[in-house]
Structure 1
Amino acid sequence: MTTPSAASDAEQFVGYALPAGMYVAPEVRRPRLRRTIGLWMAGIVAVALILVGVSLTVTKKVPRYMCPPECGAPPMGTPVTGLPRFTAADGSFSVSYPTAGSAYEVSTQGNGVTAKFTGGDTGVLQLFSEPARGRDPQTIARDLLKQKFPDAKIAYEIPNAMVGYQPGYGEVADTWPQGTSNSYIRLRTVLLVAVKNDLALVAGAVGPYHAFGPDFGPGLPSGANLQIAQDMGKYVNSFTWQGDPPR
């Protein structure tokens, strides 16, 4: 052994004196990976359960319905009507017509309404009923056209024509009556007919022919070529027969 005075600094160390013999040192315990992960998972699950419980407590329960029979109904308000309505004396049909002072001169008869259009190209709109007497809509339309305009020429038939949402028949026809200055003017007629309960409901419009284009008309392609025809739709759809459900 070297003495402290002779030994270098690197060789000096603190020692402990123990009696000679066999000694057992305790094993150093290392952290267990499974236990650590298990503790983390348990904490996460506990927090998740707490959050789920809070959300269930705060959220209101949605009522459950059995459909049928508890099918419910959509929200319905009071129908808004902005147009006057004509109803036949016998209640067989009803139809809306233009309001007074809306560029129309309106008169009513026993079987319907006549509205003279006083603006633009002028014209006449008629909304009336006709006994069907077993005739189909096309036959009724042709008979009415012959009565009003015997020399009219049919321009085309209106596909999928409907009156009051009832399938029917429609056609567009032209006539050339002579004017006051020995000149001929072209008149266009739009006629729509549908039959239900052996009663025909008719919507007809007559006025000067005026070709629709980029500068005149509804803007969309159309072969009507009649100014008053642009205002017909809401009246044609408003027709109802007796017994029809409200709409």
Structure 2
Amino acid sequence: MTAPSAASDEEQFPGYALPPGTYIAPEIPRTRFTRTVGVWTAGIVVVAAALVGVSLMVTKKVPRYMCPPECGAPPMGKPVTGLPRFTAADGSFSVSYPAPGSAYEISTKDNGVTANFTGGDTGALQLFSEPARGRTPETIARDLLKQKFPDAKIAYEIPNAMVGYQRGYGEVADTWPQGTSNSYIRIRTVLLVAVKNDLALVAGAVGPYHAFGPDFGPGLPSGANVEIAQDMGKYVNSFRWQGDPPR
């Protein structure tokens, strides 16, 4: 055997001189997968708990009511504000009516107000009183309808009708008067009556029939089908008999 020839400088690999013996190389430390997942999970849990705690702190608690005795009050419409008010000469009742300069022509009598609607489909709104003389609201409504429109056909009765927050009676009726061009026009009447202290307070609206739908009307389901009825509610609620508290 021949001795290996001396290696060139390029083939030499410098290292460290160690005494002869047996050596053990230490294991390279590595982060375990389970530990990484555990750290991330713990962080997410802490953040989520903090968010839940903040949410509970800023959220108002819903009050709990016991009924009875805390049964609350029935829903009421918003009171009419900023409108003129008609008061009968004897003080028996009062009612709000459309303000001057609106799309109404206003006229008054001893027993109430008539507001002729000059915009859109036109029409008329009447807010007035009628001696009850022991009659029921339904009887008064039928008598008034027969006087004004003897050929009217009742379309339907208004459920839970109220005038001035007093339970009463309401109905919707149609008539078909002949127009100038020998054609018949469908006219719709909305009538509401309530009686208190033997005095009937009446709200009536009359105008051309115009079916409510996606392109016309309040946007909510309704069987009124007459434009002026959309502006009628706040005046009906504003009725007050003598002695009623302010609303």
Please give the range of the TM-score, normalised by the shorter of the 2 chains. Answer: 0.5 to 0.7
The residue aligned with 2:238 is: 238
Return 5+ residue gaps in structure 2 as ranges.
1-78
**SS of residue matched to 1:202:** strand
Q: 1:174 to 1:91 in 2, by over 3 A?
A: same
The residue aligned with 2:29 is: none
The residue aligned with 2:135 is: 135
The one-character-per-residue Cα deviations of 1:136-169 (angstroms, maximum 9, x if unpaired) are: 0000000000000000000000000000000000
CA positional deviation for 1:177? 0.2
Contact map agreement 2:166 2:194 (CA 8 A) in 1: yes
The whole-number CA distance in structure 1 between the counterparts of 2:132 and 2:139 is 9
Mapping for residues 54-133 of structure 1, pairs under 5 Å? 81-133=81-133
Larger radius of gyration: 1
Q: 1:148 to 1:80 in 2, by over 3 A?
A: closer
Mapping for residues 176-195 of structure 1, pairs under 5 Å? 176-195=176-195
CA positional deviation for 1:101? 1.2
The residue aligned with 2:169 is: 169
Q: 1:183 to 1:118 in 2, by over 3 A?
A: same
Q: State TM-score, norm by structure 1.
A: 0.68
Query: Percent identity among equivalent residues?
Result: 92
Letter in 2 for 1:240: R
The whole-number CA distance in structure 2 between the counterparts of 1:165 and 1:213 is 29
CA positional deviation for 1:208? 0.1
Contact map agreement 2:80 2:238 (CA 8 A) in 1: no
Q: 1:158 to 1:80 in 2, by over 3 A?
A: closer
Q: 1:169 to 1:211 in 2, by over 3 A?
A: same
Number of aligned residue pairs: give it: 169
**SS of residue matched to 2:235:** helix
**SS of residue matched to 2:146:** helix
**SS of residue matched to 1:191:** strand
Letter in 1 for 2:116: K
The whole-number CA distance in structure 2 between the counterparts of 1:241 and 1:80 is 16
**SS of residue matched to 2:145:** helix
CA positional deviation for 1:81? 2.8
Q: State TM-score, norm by structure 2.
A: 0.68
**SS of residue matched to 1:129:** strand
Return 5+ residue gaps in structure 1 as ranges.
1-78
The residue aligned with 2:156 is: 156
Contact map agreement 2:175 2:186 (CA 8 A) in 1: yes
CA RMSD between the two structures = 1.0
Letter in 2 for 1:215: D
Letter in 2 for 1:168: G
